Amino acid sequence: MRRSLLFAGLCAMLLSTSALARHCPADMKKIDEALAKNPMLSAEQMVEVKKLRAEGEELHKAGKHPESEATLAKAMKMLNIGM
């Protein structure tokens, strides 16, 4: 009985951890792939996208994932890539 409860608790913990996983790294990868294809952006837009990409990575590293995702979403919108 005790083992069953322990097992159920561990399973619940693992499932909830994966449900809370953030997608910052995947967004950064999408941006990098789009930039590698030389998108049709003005010089100013390219600077802004790269700035947002770098800022998103810094926020991710600082553990500020919602802010990172919002910042990366702005860059993705400018690149016209799906989220």
Q: Which residue has the tokens 């799906």?
A: 82
Torsion angle of the four alpha carbons 67, 36, 80, 49, in this order, in degrees rounded to the nearest 10: 40
Nearest to 67 by CA among 24, 31, 28, 30: 24
Residue for token digits 């009985």? 1
Identify the CA nearest to 35 among candidates 83, 73, 79: 79
pLDDT at position 14 is 46
pTM as predicted: 0.74
Mean pLDDT, residues 53-61 taken together: 97
Comparison of pLDDT for 62 and 5, the residue scoring more: 62
DSSP at 37: T
pLDDT of residue 22: 85
| Residue for token pair 């930039």 | 35
Other Cβ atoms closer than 10 A to 73: 14
| Cβ neighbours of 23 (radius 10 Å) | 14
Domains with residue ranges and CATH for the chain? 23-83 (1.20.1270)
Chain segment 6-42, per-residue pLDDT in tens: 555 555 554 444 344 689 999 999 999 999 999 999 9
